Structure 1
Amino acid sequence: MTWLTCVYCLYCTVLFLSIYFLFIKSRRKKDSNSVAKTDVRVVLRSSSIIGWFAYPCCLSVVIFVFWKEVSPGLETIDSWWSRPFFIWIHYSVSIICWLCCVFSSAGVVMKEPAVSKPDIGMSQQTAKDYCIICEVPKAPDSKHCYFCNVCVPRWDHHCLWICNCIGSRNIHFFSAFLTHCACMWLHGAYICSFIAMVWTPNHGKQSFISYWFQVVNNQFQLALYATLLYLGGLVFFTYSCYYLFLCIMTKNTKERMQKRC
């Protein structure tokens, strides 16, 4: 499993770095001046498309490594909780929720014919409540998305992983997607660590720390894979708790930050 683990780590590193640098480059272009707005949108769209392919590709690599290297070890274990049945359930539901997030609309602020574009001499507050790009009045909770080039009501953020905005219409799908991803990754990490501990003999007089070092020494690949899954699962779990809280409170990130300030 050594070469598969190396390929997996290298793939994730290159993927995250490419998305990060594309996003930073686009933000610098957008903040510098407004001469190259077309170039900015091209960079933003390219980074968003990379993120759209990132999740299924990354998930496919994780599932392939798990099916190829971890699943054979489950035949020697009788624990019902360690069966990968739950992983496939969370995998299927997460894919369905991901597709719902991708193809569902977060909402668009439509242009009202009766509303005219404010003059340059108007107050700053009036210009702030009007989007000069879409030429539509802006609600307090709406924002113009430079990725999608539309004004989105109750805008939360633009997610690179789904190439779509997250708003009031699809935030429930997004929170369900994060929850099932967290359950899938954490359960996979539990299975990997459980197999590694079963395959490592315990002499009974060892402390947990010394025994865990022995597990890492004997089953390094499984321990490394479990660690990566635990880290990814904790990230998904943190975000899922946050967005479940937003769904319960019927708020978005912008409203919560404004209330906090």
Structure 2
Amino acid sequence: MIEALQFDFMRNALIAGVLVSIACGIIGTFVVINRIVFISGGIAHAAYGGIGLGYFFKFSPVLGAVIFSILAALGMGIVQRQTRQRADTIIGVMWAIGMAVGIILVDLTEGYKADLMSYLFGSILAVSSNDLSIMLGLDIIIIALAALFYKELLAISFDETFATVANVPVNTIYLTLMCMIALTVVMMMRVVGLIMVIALLTMPAAIGGQFVKDMRKMMVLASILGMFFTTVGLWLSYSLNLTSGATIILVAGAVYLLSVAVQPLLRRIQPKRAKMD
């Protein structure tokens, strides 16, 4: 891995992994606790419509993804909270419409779309300095929003009824969370692609939640785990000549399965320690 760092693209990839891991640690924790994992997947796939929009109208596909994913996130959040429709139905509809719009717009766009697949499957090795600047800016926005509305986000995550009684603007905070998920999805699409966003967003937080219960600690642990997964995945992909995004996800998946497997053993050990104390 040290040898690989002599290349600019590897250094950029490593920095991108760190920046994305910070956002995943924070937002992934809220996603897992609120049990809205598939909403993040729906937003991710709907974001493809924005990529098609960018190609068709000749502006940055990343900017298109930001706009489209935020609109999709707000749409999912509003419809879910104000209608009786099932959440999975809403997500499926948004998911399908976003993907369909993106595909049609790309079909209608003249010329060769060289890097189109990188948005679907990720291309962390192709992350540029401009991409890093965008990721840093999105990280700052996400961290600022999480810090500013931490108590409100905590309230709606654990007891929405109490939050409503306490005059917390539940709907507004929920929609803010949706927008934060959308921004995180856009950050991650260059690393693992829109297809695998849901995995990297949720697995570090899910692992962290098995070992710590405090939300702040869970965010920190999830961020550290995300950095570990991206670094090890990059090293393996470089050493074995594998696709980086898929390798990162496989590393994360292996650790998640291992953490699930050791949980029964840890539950047996803890009572014995308590008796000894």
TM over 0.5: no
Quick check: which one's strand share is greater? 1
Q: TM-score, normalised by structure 1?
A: 0.27
Q: TM-score, normalised by structure 2?
A: 0.26
Higher relative contact order (CA 8 A, sep 6+): 2
Quick check: which one's helix share is greater? 2
